[in-house]
């Protein structure tokens, strides 16, 4: 029977308080986010939905927090004391019933809320599960027994949202925005809980070192030592690898090399009638030296072998494919394996030439002898096949492929210890390798400039991994942070190189932020005013831009600025009913000047002609109708004048009145106040310059990207959530995920061109790309333009899948072809 740690309750109270504080802070921020989303909404329906959600949430925020606190404490207590339920004797027949729709909705919604948090906090949760396994006395990490797992938080969150409103639409909006905010916040929260448990002296349960027997029969660990993994974990590992790569799992989990590799030691993956190297998993494995368990090597010895091979692979020329034929693995390891030199066919495995030696395949004999189970042999062969694909990937520059090749043995060590390397895209090692390749794709030259600096950094980081303790995930995470730091520094260098363009676009974004703030103030004044919807929307969204543009160019006290402000009042009065002859005469006299001012203001912001025509086509009938309408009552006149005076008192906001860029959502407005000189200076791509009706040529390189597709896609049943792409590679959603330092493909001047994103404005309103190397030119565009290019298929990622994902897909296609060939 498991015995909980005495520190359990104190630790759980601290953890729950951290979650409550995180949720309360996120809820408070969500109120502001909903208001900003309402301002940036593209339609009145969306705007009203966000405003309703903000109103309800702001007024019921205290009820939300109280409900979440109560439900979370209740759920956690049930998890800690699962047997403290009502006895059967106290339950009557009236308590029995069918599960209602409300319960089903709660389970589904809570599951979705929890899943959003779990995807973002995957690695923190894995570490937390190890601590919880120790606190609860389980002796192993068990995600289903974690009392504060995302599923529990999701259930409490659902009940708290229920307490805010009964409106289904508002609930969905709140659930969506809260899940987005919490997914980010809970990652830090879970990390803080882990740090607190560590500070309390709680030791996480881990994978015990596997017991082994030396080559002379001496036992290196007590017979009672815990196995590295439990049998269910082994079966799950085998099933995952089998599903991912379409290979049969080991027939047994015996410690001998029989079973999976057969009596002769040959690989079970080879197609019948062919050499095993044709399968993509290397040459046949010899049987172990000795009989039974006498030939196994301990996990520590396996680690030592991998470390020695990884270090020797860092010597100059060790990874050169041209030198492979003269390199004997037994020589490199001091006679450990004494294997035969790898042939060119074995190195390539049916692919084009590799850019570096496949070390796992070259040293397969030693590695298989050091492995203690068929499942480890399976992992060795699969990782070797992956690096066949990685080292022959056409999108990876050869200089970077050499550096990635130095990580073959550290990656193998990680894969042997952690099967989530295969099934989880967010694994730190996968993210590190993928990020190296993605950043490298953005450089055209590695002989000088930023490309050379990046290659030097990667060489240093890889060397630190090879020489360090590459069993620890913290090592890879720290190197990943170093890569991201380089990208940020490079973005700053690019910003300095294009200082004039960056300064101009930053000024335009600041102006757009002022416009958004002023539009919010105008909306508050015009909301109760009796005026046509198209006039209200014009004054709020468009004429507010005119007023801000005039103030920015000529100053707030200039004559043109005051005239644009007065035009807003006159436009409202022009559509009001006019009963007396004096009012009609005054309207006819002032109308020409009003129309002239409107045209002058719209030209100031370069409002598109089609929008002008649409607006005036609605305005003119309203002017005609105003001459026939019923007159306003005295009370209506007083209310109208009161609102107009409030509009006159509005002052243009200052820069310090606007929220900081990192606290505001992406600005959705379209800056239109670019002069021809400014547009040419920043290389601005304008909508009129794009042939939206033209056909986009098929990019053959894009189709041959090696991404998963067809019948061998990697989105498999039971694994789809973890294998789903983290970021889109094409389509409308891509615009929200583009990041500086990454290469993309843009359809420019009737052809596909490779571009590199150099700079993104703080509010993601403007983007600066560079094209070419020696004669580099910049291409700038607004966020709306980028979204339209993505939506129309004229902009997409240079990599349609990350490097390891491409390798997995091609390996699976190769195996599928071999399987079909063996059956025919």
Sign of CA dihedral 714, 269, 230, 132: negative
- According to the 3-state scheme, what is the secondary structure of 447-474? CCHHHHHHHHHHHHHHHHHHHCCCCCHH
pLDDT at 243 over 70: no
More confident: 769 or 660: 769
d(CA 778, CA 141): 51
Q: How far is residue 477 CA from its own chain's centroid? A: 16
Tokens of 282: 């290397």
The pLDDT, as a whole number, for residue 234 is 60
751-771: pLDDT as tens digits: 888 888 988 888 888 899 988
Average pLDDT over residues 534-540: 90
pLDDT at 22 over 70: yes
Average pLDDT over residues 736-743: 85
The pLDDT, as a whole number, for residue 624 is 87
CB atoms within 10 A of CB 248: 12
CA-wise closest residue to 572 among 502, 505, 512, 525: 525
The pLDDT, as a whole number, for residue 18 is 92
More confident: 243 or 141: 141
More confident: 718 or 466: 466
pLDDT at 93 over 70: no
Average pLDDT over residues 535-558: 88
544-554: pLDDT as tens digits: 889 888 888 88
Average pLDDT over residues 457-474: 87
Q: Would strands 743-748 and 795-797 be described as parallel, antiparallel, or unpaired?
A: antiparallel
Q: Which of 166-170, 230-234, 408-412, 572-576 has the lowest mean pLDDT?
A: 230-234
CA-wise closest residue to 385 among 416, 366, 408: 408
The pLDDT, as a whole number, for residue 759 is 86
469-518: pLDDT as tens digits: 877 888 898 999 999 899 888 888 877 888 888 888 888 888 888 888 88
The pLDDT, as a whole number, for residue 279 is 34
Average pLDDT over residues 309-318: 71
356-414: pLDDT as tens digits: 888 898 888 888 888 767 788 888 888 988 899 999 888 889 999 999 999 999 999 88
Q: Which of 200-204, 500-504, 539-543, 675-679 has the lowest mean pLDDT?
A: 675-679
Instruction: Kindly indicate the confidence band of residue 258, based on its pLDDT and cuts at 50, 70 and 90.
Output: very low
The pLDDT, as a whole number, for residue 697 is 67
More confident: 286 or 451: 451
pLDDT at 691 over 90: no
**Taking CA 623 as the corner, what is the angle to CA 619 and CA 627, rounded to the nearest 5 degrees?**
165
Instruction: Kindly indicate the confidence band of residue 221, based on its pLDDT and cuts at 50, 70 and 90.
Output: very low
Instruction: Kindly indicate the confidence band of residue 224, based on its pLDDT and cuts at 50, 70 and 90.
Output: very low
**Average pLDDT of the residues of the chain:** 75
**How far, CA to CA in Å, does 561 sit from each of 257, 469, 566?**
85, 66, 9
Element spanning 358, H or E = none
More confident: 485 or 210: 485
315-338: pLDDT as tens digits: 666 676 654 443 333 333 333 333
Cβ distance 254 to 376 under 8 Å? no
CA neighbours closer than 13 Å in the CB half-sphere of residue 322: 2
**How far, CA to CA in Å, does 171 sit from each of 46, 53, 141, 747?**
14, 8, 34, 41
The pLDDT, as a whole number, for residue 663 is 44
d(CA 803, CA 796): 16
Element spanning 748, H or E = strand 743-748
Average pLDDT over residues 271-282: 34
The pLDDT, as a whole number, for residue 247 is 65
Element spanning 567, H or E = helix 559-574
CA-wise closest residue to 149 among 177, 114, 176: 114
149-177: pLDDT as tens digits: 998 999 999 999 999 988 888 888 898 88
The pLDDT, as a whole number, for residue 600 is 92
The pLDDT, as a whole number, for residue 91 is 47
Average pLDDT over residues 205-227: 38
The pLDDT, as a whole number, for residue 443 is 86
Q: Is the pTM higher than 0.85?
A: no
pLDDT at 648 over 80: yes
**How far, CA to CA in Å, does 459 sit from each of 30, 303, 491, 674, 762?**
43, 23, 21, 44, 31
427-448: pLDDT as tens digits: 889 999 999 998 998 888 888 8
Average pLDDT over residues 273-288: 34
pLDDT at 268 over 60: no
What are the percentages of helix, strand and coil residues in the chain, rounded to 5?
60, 5, 35
The pLDDT, as a whole number, for residue 259 is 31
pLDDT at 598 over 90: yes
d(CA 301, CA 309): 12
The pLDDT, as a whole number, for residue 294 is 34
The pLDDT, as a whole number, for residue 267 is 35
Question: Helices 581-604 and 559-574 sit at what angle, rounded to 10 degrees?
Answer: 130
Average pLDDT over residues 681-706: 68
The pLDDT, as a whole number, for residue 613 is 92
pLDDT at 628 over 90: no
The pLDDT, as a whole number, for residue 552 is 84
Q: What are the beta bridge partners of residue 745? A: 754, 796
Average pLDDT over residues 718-735: 64
pLDDT at 136 over 60: yes
What does R_g of the chain's alpha carbons equal in angstroms? 33
d(CA 136, CA 313): 44
Percent of the chain with pLDDT over 70: 73
The pLDDT, as a whole number, for residue 748 is 79
């Amino acid at each position: 029977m498991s015995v909980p740690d005495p520190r359990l309750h104190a630790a759980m109270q601290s953890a729950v308080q951290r979650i409550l504080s995180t949720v309360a802070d996120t809820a408070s921020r969500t109120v502001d986010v909903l208001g900003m989303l309402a301002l940036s909404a593209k339609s009145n329906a969306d705007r009203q939905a966000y405003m309703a959600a903000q109103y309800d949430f702001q007024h019921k925020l205290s009820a939300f927090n109280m409900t979440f606190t109560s439900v979370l404490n209740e759920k956690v207590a049930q998890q800690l004391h699962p047997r403290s339920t009502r006895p059967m004797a106290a339950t009557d027949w009236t308590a029995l019933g069918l599960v209602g729709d409300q319960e089903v909705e709660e389970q589904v919604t809570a599951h979705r809320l929890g899943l959003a948090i779990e995807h973002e906090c995957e690695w923190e949760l894995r570490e937390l599960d190890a601590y919880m396994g120790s606190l609860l006395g389980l002796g192993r990490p068990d995600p289903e027994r974690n009392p504060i797992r995302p599923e529990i938080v999701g259930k409490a969150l659902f009940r708290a949202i229920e307490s805010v409103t009964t409106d289904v639409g508002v609930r969905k909006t709140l659930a969506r925005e809260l899940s987005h905010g919490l997914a980010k916040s809970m990652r830090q929260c879970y990390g803080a809980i882990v740090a607190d448990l560590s500070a309390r002296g709680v030791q996480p349960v881990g994978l015990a070192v596997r017991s082994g027997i030396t080559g002379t029969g001496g036992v290196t660990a007590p017979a009672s030592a815990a196995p590295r993994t439990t049998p269910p974990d082994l079966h799950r590992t085998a099933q995952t690898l089998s599903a991912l790569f379409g290979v049969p799992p080991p027939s047994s989990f015996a410690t001998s090399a029989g079973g999976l590799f057969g009596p002769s030691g040959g690989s079970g993956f080879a197609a019948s009638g062919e050499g095993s190297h044709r399968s993509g998993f290397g040459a046949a494995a010899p049987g172990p030296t000795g009989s039974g368990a006498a030939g196994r090597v301990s996990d520590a010895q396996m680690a030592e072998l991998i470390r020695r091979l990884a270090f020797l692979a860092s010597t100059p020329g060790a990874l050169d494919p041209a030198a492979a034929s003269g390199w004997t693995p037994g020589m490199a390891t001091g006679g450990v394996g004494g294997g035969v030199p790898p042939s060119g066919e074995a190195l390539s495995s049916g692919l084009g030439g590799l850019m570096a030696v496949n070390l796992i395949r070259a040293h397969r004999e030693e590695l298989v002898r050091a492995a203690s189970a068929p499942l480890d042999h399976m992992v060795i062969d699969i990782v070797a096949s992956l690096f066949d694909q990685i080292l022959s990937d056409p999108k990876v520059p050869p200089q970077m492929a050499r550096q990635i090749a130095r990580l073959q043995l550290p990656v193998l060590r990680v894969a042997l210890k952690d099967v989530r390397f295969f099934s989880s895209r967010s694994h730190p090692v996968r993210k590190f390798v993928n990020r190296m390749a993605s950043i490298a794709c953005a450089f055209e030259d590695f002989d000088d400039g930023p490309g050379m600096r990046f290659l030097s950094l990667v060489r240093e980081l890889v060397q630190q991994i090879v020489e360090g303790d590459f069993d620890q995930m913290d090592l890879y995470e720290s190197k990943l942070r170093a890569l991201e730091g380089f990208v940020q520094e490079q973005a700053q260098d690019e910003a300095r190189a294009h200082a004039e363009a960056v300064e101009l676009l930053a000024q335009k974004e600041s102006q757009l932020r002022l416009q958004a703030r002023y539009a919010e103030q105008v909306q508050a004044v015009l909301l109760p005013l009796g005026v046509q919807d198209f006039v209200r929307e014009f004054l709020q969204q468009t004429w507010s831009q005119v007023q801000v543009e005039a103030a920015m160019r000529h100053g707030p006290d200039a004559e043109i600025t005051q005239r644009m402000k007065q035009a807003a009042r006159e436009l409202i009065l022009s559509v009001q009913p006019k009963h007396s002859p004096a009012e009609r005469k005054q309207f006819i006299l002032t109308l020409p000047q009003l129309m002239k001012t409107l045209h002058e203001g719209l030209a100031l912001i370069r409002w598109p002609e089609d929008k002008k025509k649409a607006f005036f086509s609605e305005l003119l009938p309203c002017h005609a109708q105003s001459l026939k309408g019923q007159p306003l009552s005295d009370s209506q006149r007083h209310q109208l004048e009161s609102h107009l005076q409030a509009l006159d008192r509005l002052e243009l906001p200052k820069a310090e009145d606007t929220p900081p860029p990192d606290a505001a959502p992406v600005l959705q407005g379209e800056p239109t106040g670019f002069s021809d000189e400014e547009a040419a200076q920043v290389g601005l791509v304008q909508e009129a310059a794009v042939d939206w009706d033209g056909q986009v040529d098929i990019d053959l390189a894009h189709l041959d990207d090696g991404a998963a597709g067809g019948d061998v896609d990697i989105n498999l049943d039971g694994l789809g959530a973890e294998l789903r792409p983290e970021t889109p590679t094409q389509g409308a959603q891509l615009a929200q995920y583009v990041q500086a330092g990454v290469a993309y493909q843009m359809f420019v001047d009737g052809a596909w061109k490779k571009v590199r994103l150099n700079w993104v404005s703080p509010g993601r309103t403007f983007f600066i790309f560079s094209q070419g190397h020696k004669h580099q030119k910049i291409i700038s565009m607004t966020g709306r333009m980028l979204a339209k290019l993505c939506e129309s298929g004229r902009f997409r990622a240079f990599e349609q899948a990350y490097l390891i994902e491409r390798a997995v897909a091609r390996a699976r296609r190769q195996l599928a072809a071999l399987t079909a060939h063996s059956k025919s």
